[in-house]
């Protein structure tokens, strides 16, 4: 990106999201035990619904960066809430609810 403030904003958001990825990878590796889903349960992650978003460009202004980021944080918040609803009570559900709260805070 050309705008340094916009570039810095994206880097900060990327670092926060890396933390979310690390938590979810722990879940995937089975390191979180309480409240996991059964292996046979089918989940619609609605990935296709989240891919139709504005493209990032080199000429984006800071307001456009934040608007794009806010929409993605909103979508992530809604995703985590729906994922939390299908999990039974336990450590994993609490983790996902914390992620949802963090996404809303980012927005």
pLDDT class of 1 with cuts at 50, 70, 90: confident
Domain map (residue ranges) of the chain: 4-35+42-106
21-37 pLDDT, tens digit each: 998 898 888 888 777 77
Closest listed residue to residue 62, CA positions, set 13, 106, 3, 107: 3
98 contact partners, CB below 8 Å, separation of at least 6: none
49-104 pLDDT, tens digit each: 555 566 788 888 887 787 788 888 888 889 999 999 999 999 999 999 999 888 88
The Cα 46–Cα 57 span in angstroms is: 25
């Amino acid at each position: 990106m050309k705008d340094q403030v916009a570039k810095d904003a994206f880097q900060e958001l990327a670092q926060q999201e890396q933390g979310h990825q690390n938590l979810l990878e722990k879940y995937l590796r089975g390191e979180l035990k309480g409240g996991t889903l059964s292996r046979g349960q089918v989940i619609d992650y609605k990935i296709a619904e989240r891919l139709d978003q504005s493209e990032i460009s080199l000429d984006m202004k800071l307001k456009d960066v934040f608007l794009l980021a806010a929409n993605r944080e909103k979508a992530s918040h809604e995703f985590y809430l729906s994922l939390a609803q299908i999990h039974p009570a336990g450590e994993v559900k609490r983790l996902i609810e914390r992620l949802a709260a963090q996404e809303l805070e980012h927005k």
